[in-house]
Each structure stands twice: as structure tokens, then as C-alpha cells.
Amino acid sequence: MYTQTVTADFRSLAIDQLKESPTNPRRSFDPAKLQELAQSIRAQGILVPIIVRPTATEFFEVVAGARRFRAAQMADLFAVPVRVVGLTDAEALTLQLVENAIREDVHPYEEAMAYRALLEASEPRYDVASLALKTGRSVNHIYGRLRMAELIPEAAEVFQANQITAGHAVLIARLPQEQQYEALEAAFREDWRTREKHAISVRELAQWIRDNLMLSLADAAFDRADAELVPGIGPCVTCSKRTGANAALFDDFPQDDKCLDGQCFRSKLDAHLVREQKNKALVQITRGDCGGSDSGETALPQQHHTEIEPPERRYAEPVGEAHAAPARTAEDERADRAREQERARWEEERLQNRESNRQLLDSVLTRIPPTLTRDDYQMLVFAAIERLEYEDWAALAERHDIKTDDSREPDAAEMALYKKAEEATELQLVRMLIELGLLRSGYSDEKLDPTDPLIRAAARYAKAKRQHAKCAGRKTPSRRNTAKASAKKSIRKGGAV
């Protein structure tokens, strides 16, 4: 806890006597929300005093209440109510962090930088556990935020611009910096309609990182416990650059230990292959050997290697040329045939799956009942939700008042929308289905074409509304009047009434 070095007092200070704190974690201010706050201050004044501390000059430093201070300036106030408290630099930073941590509108990156500043402060001393206790956050939350402070500048910039979420940021930040560039590029997908890049879902990015950047230690060709394989690096089993070394940060890898340092992994693989070349006569093949290039091709990646038999068991005669192709063995031929059979099996399976799925779709279409039920509409809504893209979720969360967890968005929004669909009535499901179909047009920033589905839907339902109003405006003839009209008609025709 921070301590006050002088007694706090409340007073009113001229606004030009205040200046913002350089250590305030908050760096971004929403102009629209500031305008709303300024309007409220004009009407009601500042209800909660701004916390300030004296400085060596005639100014007072704003410790907590930077938004109120800026809004007061916009409202052209001459003086503001303040609470003057004597605080050290570390105490001021602590108060700022705690005051901002309990607010929902502080950007996670700003929170991360504040946590790191507190951990680096000399007095008072904090660790992650004490920070969690002080702010009321979980240890996992603190670890996740601290990791965000390791973002490369390019990733931090797009994160602060809200082009990626906190979930994306955590996935990228926990990678080594050289891999963060690759992950940041993979986090965006180009919209084929607008040619604009949009962030993919957190779930998709996590899967891409697993498949492309995290190397499985269980599949490593070298001994993970060998401390002498590469001098000065040490064994993998005690390395901090693996998912198993930080269970709080990598809680999505409870069993599978992954290496996060591809350069170190490859250096160990290189050393292992060099050792095996001496012991088992491994042959290094270069791209130049394969293609006959004279451009100084480098060796193939070291993971492309095969253990081969000693030369005396493969060659009838010594090979004179340094780069002569080794003779192929029966084992090589069997391996080639096995790979070819595997490729053929995979292609056949892919074609069978496509044909089976097409037949299943045809079967469903032939069995659709003439009148759809609530279960049918719910099924269609679920299918539409499953195929939503990242840019749709912000609009849906706003429209349906879905509060998302910033570390799991948009996955949390998806679960909330599924739950709403499960509880919806038949009419609500129909409206949700139409809403999902027209959502992209409704949130487009371009002028819609007359053939756009939203324009057509608006025209259709406007016409239906006019027809309904026209029908409702007609007077339905009474039974008595109808009887009189029938009698007159019968008399004119000479019939009996």
C-alpha cells in the first residue's frame, strides 16, 4: 500500500496551476467521451476531486483524474476541486495504477506498461503476487499484461489503434521478438471485396502460431536433456523459452511442451546432425546438388534429413566426385513408394469427403418441410454464427449488448450469441437470421448499390407495410349492409328474397 507523506487537504486550484503526470499509465483518451464528460462538467461541475501532489515548482501534478482535468479544460473552467496529497514517485505510480486498473476504459497496453514500471521501481518493491493482491486482478491477468509490454513496436502500434484485441496481443507478445513479426503479419487477412486487411479471430491466430511457430520438443531429433550439445545454451528441459516453463502464461499447453526459440532449436538440430554425420555417415545435400545451380545455394534446412546406411553397405565402388548422387537402396525405393501411396490416399480421401458432403447437402435439401419450425430457424442461425468473420463481432456485441472478455474476444461473443439464439423465440430467431444476413451491409462505410440485399430488404418491407396499412384502412361492410345489398341485387334480377 502507498503511504501519504503529508496530510491530505481539499481545496480549489486554478486550472493553469495543474499539469499532467508523465507517469500516468493512461495515454489514450477518446475524444467523444471527453466531450461527453466536458458537457457533464458544464452542467454539474466536478463531483469527485482530482488527486494532485505538489512539485518543486508552483505547479501541482495530476496523479489521478487526468480525464477530468482534460474535460475541465474543454469546459473552460477557471478552477477545479482537488485533493492535495504528498506522494513519492513510486507511491504516485502505484496510486495511478490502482485507480486505472479498476476502470474498464484503460487500454490494456497502458496497463501493461504501468505494471512493468512498478516491477522495475526500486521502492517499494513489488512482485507479481503482490501486484495481483493490490489491484484485485488474478496472477494470470498480471502475467498476460506484463507480456504485452514485450510487444514489438509495430504490434504495439496496431494494438493501441485497436486493430487487434488483447487476445491477439497476448498470443503475439509471448513469442520471441523475431517470431512476432511473422505472427503479426498472419494476424490479418485481406477482404477480397474491399481489399482491406482485417484481423482474424483469436482462435485462428492461436492455431496458426501452433502450426507454424511452435516447435514440438517431443518430436525433436536431439536429446533435450543434453547440456553439452551446443556450448553455453544448456538443456531444453530447464530452458525458459518453452511453454512448459511458464504454466500461467501458456495454460493452453498443459501437456504438450513447445519450443519458442526456433533459432536455438535449429542450432541444436544442426549440432546433432554434425555429430551424427561423424557417427553414422550422414550426407548433407544442398540445393545446388539438386538443381545444378552455380549461384552458391545454401544447404537445405536441417530438418530435411534422413539417416542413411554406411557407405560401404551402399556402394559397389567408391564415388569419385564430391557431389555425386548416392546410390539408391531398396529402403529408399520403399520409402518413395510409401510416400506416393500416402499422397494418393490423402487425395482420394479428400475427394470422397467432398462427394459425401455434397450428397449430404442434397439429401437435406430434399427433406426440408413446407413450413419451417423454431428448430429449423435455430439451426440456420447457428450455421450463420459459425461463419461470421472478425469484423462482424464488434457490431453484434454492440447490438446485442454482449460484454466480452478482452482476452477471449470474439470467442466470448460467439458463445454469448449462441446462448441468445438458444433462448430466442421463433420470431426472434427469424429476425436474427435476417440480421446476420444483412449485417455486413448495415455496417458498411460505403454507399450501398441499389441491388444490395439491405436496399432490397428495405424496399420489400416498406412495400409490405404500405399494403398492410392500405388493407387496414378499408372499412369492412357489416353483415346487415351485406344482406341489404344481396336483396336489392336479387330483386333486380327478378328473384325472391
| Segment 443-494, tens digit of pLDDT | 887 788 888 889 988 888 888 878 877 777 665 555 555 555 555 555 554 5
The CB density around residue 295, as the number of other CB atoms within 10 Å, is 7
Q: Of residues 123 and 291, which shows the higher confidence score?
A: 123
pLDDT at position 481: 57
Give the pLDDT confidence score for residue 479 in this predicted structure.
52
Residue, of 43 and 219, whose pLDDT is higher: 43
Most confident of 42-46, 338-342, 488-492: 42-46
Strands 188-190 and 60-64: unpaired
Length of the chain (residues): 497
Q: With 80 as the cut, is the pLDDT of residue 137 above it?
A: no
Among 310-314, 413-417, 427-431, the least confident range: 310-314
Q: How far are the Cα atoms of 112, 137, 366, 368 from residue 379, in angstroms, in the given order?
A: 42, 39, 17, 12
Average pLDDT, the chain: 75
Is 249 or 95 the better-scoring residue by pLDDT?
A: 95
Per-residue pLDDT for 405 more than 70? Answer: no
Residue type at 226? D
Q: What is the mean pLDDT of residues 334-353?
A: 79
Range 111-127 average pLDDT: 77
Q: Which of 123-132, 318-327, 453-462 has the lowest mean pLDDT?
A: 318-327
**Nearest residue to 241 (alpha-carbon basis) of 269, 213, 221:** 213
* pLDDT score of 352: 86
What is the spatial distance between Cα 111 and Cα 24, in angstroms, rounded to a whole number?
10
CATH fold, domain 6-149, is 3.90.1530
Which whole number is the average pLDDT over 183-197?
A: 81
User: Where does CATH 3.90.1530.30 sit in the chain?
Assistant: 6-149
- pTM here is 0.45
More confident residue, 3 or 364: 364
- Of the two residues 449 and 252, the one the predictor is more confident about is 449
Mean pLDDT, residues 123-148: 79
- Most confident of the ranges 191-195, 271-275, 335-339, 391-395: 271-275
pLDDT at 425: 92
Q: Which residues of 80-102 are buried (b: 16+ CB within 10 A; e: fewer)?
A: bbbbbbebeebbbbbbbbbbbbe
Question: Mean pLDDT throughout 425-454?
Answer: 87
Confidence check: pLDDT of 61 > 60: yes
Judge residue 26's burial from the number of C-beta atoms within 10 Å of its C-beta, 0-12 exposed, 13-18 middle, 19 or more buried.
buried
Residue-level pLDDT at 434 = 92
The confidence score (pLDDT) of residue 7 equals 47
